[in-house]
A = this chain, B = another copy of it.
């Protein structure tokens, strides 16, 4: 069963790991690149790397991001020199960025570089970039337009987001690898990532939405998992963003945001009661335990999502 996952960072990575436990190399992940940045001359791809580290079993499940047993020698010394210190890169993480920057400077196409890195890390699923061209998410706040990491890391997501844009997206198009993955998909899953700054950038890249619509028209189930549980984002500022952008900070809000693209929707048990209103959007619903606390929970949720997606008829009990 070929599965395609649209994913941002942490929520996407957990969903990817759960799906990989079920379908292994039949999983392709289309990852958001709108959070990427260049730092100290290095190509840093936060969402890609969160997914990659998680799939390689190297993620720090306690801290929730980065590599396990990470050390910070380089950043500590950089601070001594008075260098940029708000975006800290761990020592092992830095090796990824050096490796990637080498390959890119040698002329490697970003998607191929990502696939090479996946192979070097022993990852079975394919992690595909939404585009080989740079797209940069920016948010409008009271302090003007901020680059995403400036907002997300440096300002701790504190400024209120009034508008979101994906700089460069007009000139970006998706890749042959992404189009082939969607064309061969039996199921398409949208991860419980931030719908505004993790999923929307993917959908905004030329070629992706039409390919998904074509898949849906072919009858390929398209299922989203809510990243908003009990009105709150499991991680990050999705709840506040939905509210400040005039949407609803709830599983219902997420479903509305993704309709009419999706055909099925998974919400958490905490949100029992919302499924009726979500059904009126024209999507079938499943209520499940969506909080992926450990590897077993990730695998189990993914199994339920795949069963739900491929069931012939299915509003859940």
Which A residues are closer than 8 A to B by beta carbons? 40-43, 71, 73-78, 80-84, 91-92, 94-99, 101-102, 105, 117, 120-121
Contacts and interface: CB of A to CB of B under 8 A. Distances in A.
A120 B74 contact: no
How many copies of this chain does one complex carry?
2
B77 A91 contact: yes
A88 B102 CA distance: 14
Contacts of A74: 74, 91-92, 94-95, 98
Contact of A120 (B73, B76, B81, B96): B81
Nearest to A76: B95
A99 B98 CA distance: 15
A42 B42 CA distance: 8
Contact of A95 (B43, B75, B99, B120): B75
Contacts of A99: 40, 78, 81-83
List the 9 closest A-B pairs by CB distance, nearest first: A77-B95, A40-B98, A73-B91, A41-B101, A41-B41, A78-B95, A83-B99, A77-B92, A81-B120
A84 B71 contact: no
Nearest to A97: B40
A80 B95 CA distance: 9
Contacts of A84: 102
Given A91-B91, A120-B82, A40 B77 contact: no
Contacts of A81: 95-96, 99, 117, 120-121
A97 B77 CA distance: 11
Contacts of A83: 95, 98-99, 102
Contact of A41 (B71, B78, B82, B105): B105
Contacts of A96: 77, 81
A96 to B, nearest CB: 7
> Which among A41, A42, A92, A101 has the greatest number of chain B C-beta atoms within 10 A?
A41
A105 B83 CA distance: 13
A101 B180 CA distance: 38
B102 A40 contact: yes
Contacts of A97: 40
Contacts of A40: 42, 97-99, 101-102, 105
A310 to B, nearest CB: 36
